[in-house]
C-alpha cells in the first residue's frame, strides 16, 4: 500500500491504514489544508472514471463545504476540462480527482490555483506543511458551503477547442477521417465522441464505458496497447488515438498499426503550430531531442525544463513559448490554456494531417528519428536516492564528452545520446530515460546506468 505526498498533490492506493494509503482521513486533512491555503469562496471539483472516484469526491466535497466553500461539482471530467472550468466559473481554485496513468487501485488529488493551473512548488510545499500541522478551523453551521452540480463544462471545453484559430474544422471535415480510439474505460469515452462529432470525424471507440475498471494498464505505452494496434492493422482507419484516464496524455497510432511514438505527439503538434506561428518551445529534460530540432528548423529557440507540468508551464511563460509540453504525450498550447490537453492535441494534429493531405505514417517520416528507452528502478525504504544521484553526477563530471545537468535528478548529455535519472513524483521508483538513434543503443545506455545504481545499493 502506498501514499505519496508531494508538491503536486497527494496520491496513493485505496484502502488500508491511515498515513499509509489514500483513505478518507488523509483526504480530509489534505483537502482542508488546501482550502485553508487557497482562500476565497468557490472551488471546482471534477473526477475521472476511477472506481474510487465517487467515494473520494464525496469526502472532498463534504470537507470543502465544511470549510465554508461553495463547490461546483462538474462530475466526470477530464483534467483539462476541470482546469478550464476554474477559469470559466471564476473560481478560486480546483481539485481534480484522478491518478492519471496509475492503475485502478490508485487515486489522487491534483490541486489548482485560480488560473486553473497547478500550484507552484512553493505553494504545494505550504499545503503539505499545513496538512501536517493540522491547525484547522472549520465553518460554523450558518456558514457552511453549498454544492452545485454543473455538467456544462464538457461542451464548453469542446467549444473552446473549436474556436482556436489553428483548428481547421473545414479541412478536417473534408478529409472524412475515420479514427479508432481507446479511452481506457474513463472520461475520454464521454467527451471525445462529442469532439469527433463536432469536427466531422467518423470514429469507433474501444473501452468506451466509463467504469474505471481499466481494460489494460492505463499508461498509453506501446506494451499496453496491443488491442488497438491489432485493430488498426486490420485496416479501415486513418488514425489510432489513445488517451490516459484523465485525458491529458495523448498517443497516436499510424494507419498500418505501428506506433507514431508517444514522444512525437508534441513534436508533430509543435511542427504544425510553428509552421503558422513563429516562436519558442519548451519540454522537460526527459523528452526527445526531436522537439529541439523541429523548433530550430522553424527559427525558434528550444528550452528544457525540470520534469513536472508546473515546471514546464513556468519555463514556457519565461521564454514566451508558443507551444510546449512533455514527451509523455502532453501538449500544452497557451492559446488555449497552460495545461496538458489531449483534446487540443487531437484537433491540432488532425488539422495538420488534413492540410498536408498525407497519411499518418508519411507525416511521422518527416521528423528526425530518435528512440527513447523508458526503464525504472523500484525503490526500497532503504534506498538513498539523493546519494545515488550525487555519485552518478560525480562519475561523469570529468567526462569531456558529457554535459551534466542536475536541475532535476541527473541528466547526462552526450553528442549523440542522453540518459536521465530522476526520482518519480508519482510512484516509488527511479525513472531511467535514455535516447539514441536506435532503441538498442538507447536501451543499452539506460541499462548501463541502471547497473551503476544497482552496484551502489
User: Which residues carry out catalysis?
Assistant: 100
Q: How far apart are CA 449 and CA 430, in angstroms?
A: 11
H-run or E-run covering 197: helix 188-199
* C-alpha separations of 100 from 186, 250, 284, 435 in Å: 10, 12, 18, 24
Rounded Cα–Cα distance for residues 150 and 154 (Å): 10
Hey, what's the cell of 124? 504545494
CA gap 282, 280 in Å, rounded: 7
Answer whether 326's CB lies under 8 Å from 340's CB: yes
Alpha-carbon dihedral of residues 199, 204, 207, 209, nearest 10 degrees?
60
For 337, the enclosing helix (H) or strand (E) is none
- What distance in Å separates the CA atoms of residue 400 and residue 382, rounded to the nearest whole number? 33
Contact between residue 207 and residue 226 where contact means Cβ atoms under 8 Å apart = no
Tell me the HSE value of 193 on the side-chain side, using a 13 A CA sphere. 12
Q: How far apart are CA 240 and CA 183, in angstroms?
A: 11
Q: How many CB atoms neighbour CB 256 within 10 A?
A: 13
Q: Which stretches within 277-384 are classed as H helix?
A: 290-297, 309-319, 342-356, 360-364
Amino acid at each position: 500500500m502506498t501514499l505519496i505526498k508531494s508538491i503536486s498533490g497527494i496520491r496513493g492506493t485505496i484502502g488500508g491504514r491511515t498515513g499509509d494509503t489514500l483513505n478518507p482521513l488523509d483526504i480530509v486533512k489534505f483537502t482542508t489544508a488546501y482550502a485553508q491555503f487557497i482562500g476565497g469562496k468557490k472551488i471546482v471539483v471534477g473526477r475521472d472514471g476511477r472506481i474510487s472516484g465517487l467515494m473520494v469526491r464525496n469526502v472532498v466535497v463534504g470537507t470543502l463545504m465544511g470549510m465554508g466553500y461553495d463547490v461546483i461539482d462538474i462530475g466526470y471530467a477530464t483534467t483539462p476540462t476541470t482546469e478550464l472550468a476554474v477559469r470559466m466559473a471564476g473560481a478560486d481554485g480546483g481539485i481534480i480527482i484522478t491518478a492519471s496513468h496509475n492503475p485502478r487501485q490508485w487515486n489522487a488529488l491534483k490541486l489548482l490555483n485560480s488560473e486553473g493551473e497547478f500550484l507552484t512548488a512553493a505553494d504545494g510545499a505550504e499545503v503539505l506543511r499545513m496538512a501536517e500541522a493540522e491547525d484547522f478551523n472549520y465553518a460554523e453551521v450558518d456558514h457552511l458551503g453549498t454544492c452545485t452540480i454543473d455538467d456544462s463544462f464538457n461542451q464548453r471545453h469542446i467549444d473552446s477547442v473549436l474556436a482556436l484559430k489553428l483548428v481547421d474544422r473545414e479541412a478536417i471535415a473534408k478529409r472524412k477521417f475515420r479514427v479508432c480510439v481507446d479511452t481506457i474505460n474513463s472520461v475520454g469515452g464521454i467527451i471525445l465522441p462529442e469532439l469527433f462529432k463536432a469536427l466531422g470525424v467518423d470514429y469507433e471507440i474501444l473501452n468506451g464505458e466509463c467504469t474505471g475498471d481499466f481494460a489494460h494498464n492505463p499508461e498509453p505505452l506501446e506494451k499496453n496497447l496491443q488491442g488497438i494496434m491489432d485493430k488498426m492493422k486490420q485496416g479501415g482507419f486513418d488514425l489510432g488515438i489513445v488517451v490516459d484516464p484523465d485525458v491529458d496524455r495523448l498517443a497516436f497510432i499510424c494507419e498500418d498499426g505501428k506506433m507514431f511514438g508517444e514522444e512525437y505527439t508534441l513534436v508533430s503538434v509543435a511542427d504544425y503550430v510553428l509552421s503558422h506561428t513563429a516562436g519558442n518551445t519548451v519540454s522537460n529534460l526527459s523528452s526527445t531531442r526531436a522537439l529541439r530540432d523541429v523548433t530550430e528548423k522553424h527559427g525558434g529557440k528550444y528550452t528544457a525544463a525540470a520534469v513536472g507540468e508546473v515546471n514546464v508551464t513556468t519555463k514556457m511563460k519565461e521564454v514566451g513559448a508558443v507551444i510546449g509540453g512533455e514527451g509523455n504525450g502532453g501538449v500544452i498550447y497557451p492559446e488555449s490554456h497552460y495545461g496538458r490537453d489531449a483534446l487540443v492535441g487531437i484537433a491540432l494534429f488532425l488539422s495538420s494531417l488534413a492540410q498536408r493531405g498525407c497519411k499518418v505514417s508519411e507525416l511521422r517520416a518527416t521528423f528526425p528519428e530518435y528512440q527513447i528507452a523508458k526503464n525504472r528502478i523500484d525503490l526500497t525504504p532503504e534506498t538513498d536516492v539523493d546519494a545515488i544521484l550525487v555519485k552518478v553526477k560525480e562519475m561523469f563530471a570529468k567526462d569531456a564528452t558529457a554535459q551534466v545537468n542536475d536541475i532535476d535528478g541527473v541528466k547526462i548529455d552526450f553528442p549523440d545520446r542522453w540518459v536521465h535519472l530522476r526520482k518519480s513524483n508519482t510512484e516509488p521508483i527511479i525513472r531511467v530515460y535514455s535516447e539514441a538513434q536506435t532503441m538498442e543503443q538507447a536501451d543499452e545506455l539506460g541499462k548501463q546506468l541502471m547497473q551503476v545504481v544497482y552496484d551502489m545499493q
